[in-house]
């Protein structure tokens, strides 16, 4: 299986969706989707574009999109978040991305994450390393929480997730500082390229982090579930780090 070809296709599709966004963002309408969750007409337009591009190139594959659901396939599965960080997009904050992952036999094997505002294209394929705009990236070697920058999100959709996250953060008094940017895919990529040392969030879906998880692992990082919840693909409770910070974060999240 040519994972690099899937990576390159993911990147082309993500860039096409990003270009579409930059041309049409001002016309996007916003609707409430669920508690603490919105969707825009740009989400739907991006997802339609991504589905058409990916399945035209790989008609044997399936497709899972955040907004339009699943198209069954015979081989792999494209997993897409057309805008990860929709609230940021709505509020004109530059922390939103198009996330395209490819899964084969239950394993995330390739992906691309594109920020159309900054022009950052993160991509990776299993066994081939991770890249930012064509240059190899790698996680940091930080192992001391006093020197660590940690990204997180509160898990706002479920009160229990929010409360557990707050309790966990209270244990992290040693950490140098925190950031909350509102895009799981982008924050995984920031760990991958050494701009952060860890990221955690509860209540995610696989389309939120699929591509980011591939990129982070290929950059030398570690991705697991929260303590006692290792199957993050099912639970959506994600702990991602440079690897060195994983023991500390695991203890605090327990």
Per-residue pLDDT, 36: 60
For the residues 58-72, what does the mean pLDDT come to? 92
For the residues 151-157, what does the mean pLDDT come to? 87
pTM of the model: 0.94
Per-residue pLDDT, 194: 98
Per-residue pLDDT, 35: 63
Annotation: CATH topology of 3-136: Fructose-1,6-Bisphosphatase; Chain A, domain 1 (3.30.540)
Please list, in sequence order, all residues whose beta carbon lies within 8 angstroms of the beta carbon of residue 193, skipping any fewer than 6 positions away. 122, 130, 132, 137, 138, 219
Annotation: CATH topology of 145-253: D-Maltodextrin-Binding Protein; domain 2 (3.40.190)
| Residue 224 and residue 121 in contact, taking contact as beta carbons nearer than 8 Å | no
The answer to whether residue 27 scores a pLDDT higher than 90 is: no
Residue 192: pLDDT band (50, 70, 90) is very high
Q: In the numeric block, which tokens belong to residue 160?
A: 């229990």
Tens of pLDDT, residues 163-172: 999 999 999 9
The answer to whether residue 241 scores a pLDDT higher than 80 is: yes
The answer to whether residue 75 scores a pLDDT higher than 70 is: yes
Q: Would you say how long the chain is, in residues?
A: 254
| Residue 59 and residue 46 in contact, taking contact as beta carbons nearer than 8 Å | no
Local structure of residue 99 (DSSP, 8 states): E
Local structure of residue 30 (DSSP, 8 states): E
For the chain, give every residue range classified as CATH 3.40.190.80.
145-253
For the residues 195-212, what does the mean pLDDT come to? 97
Local structure of residue 27 (DSSP, 8 states): G
Per-residue pLDDT, 80: 97
């Amino acid at each position: 299986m040519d994972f690099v070809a899937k990576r390159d296709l993911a990147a082309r599709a993500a860039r096409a969706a990003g270009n579409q966004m930059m041309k049409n963002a001002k016309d996007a309408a916003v609707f409430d989707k669920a508690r603490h969750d919105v969707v825009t007409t740009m989400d739907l337009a991006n997802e339609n574009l991504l589905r058409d591009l990916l399945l035209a190139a790989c008609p044997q594959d399936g497709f899972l999109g955040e907004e339009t659901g699943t198209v069954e396939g015979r081989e792999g599965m494209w997993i897409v978040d057309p805008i990860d960080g929709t609230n940021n997009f709505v509020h004109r904050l530059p922390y939103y991305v198009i996330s395209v992952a490819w899964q084969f036999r239950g394993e995330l094997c390739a992906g691309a994450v594109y920020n159309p505002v900054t022009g950052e294209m993160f991509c990776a394929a299993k066994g081939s390393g991770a890249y930012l705009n064509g240059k190899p990236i790698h996680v940091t070697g930080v192992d001391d929480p006093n020197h660590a920058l940690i990204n997180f999100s509160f898990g706002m959709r479920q009160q229990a997730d929010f409360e557990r996250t707050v309790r966990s953060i209270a244990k992290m008094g040693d950490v140098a500082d925190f950031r909350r940017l509102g895009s799981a895919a982008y924050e995984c990529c920031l760990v991958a390229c050494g701009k952060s040392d860890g990221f955690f969030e509860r209540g995610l879906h696989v389309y939120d982090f699929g591509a980011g998880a591939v990129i982070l692992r290929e950059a030398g990082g570690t991705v697991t579930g929260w303590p006692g919840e290792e199957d993050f693909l099912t639970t959506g409770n994600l702990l991602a780090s440079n690897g060195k910070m994983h023991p500390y974060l695991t203890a605090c999240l327990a």
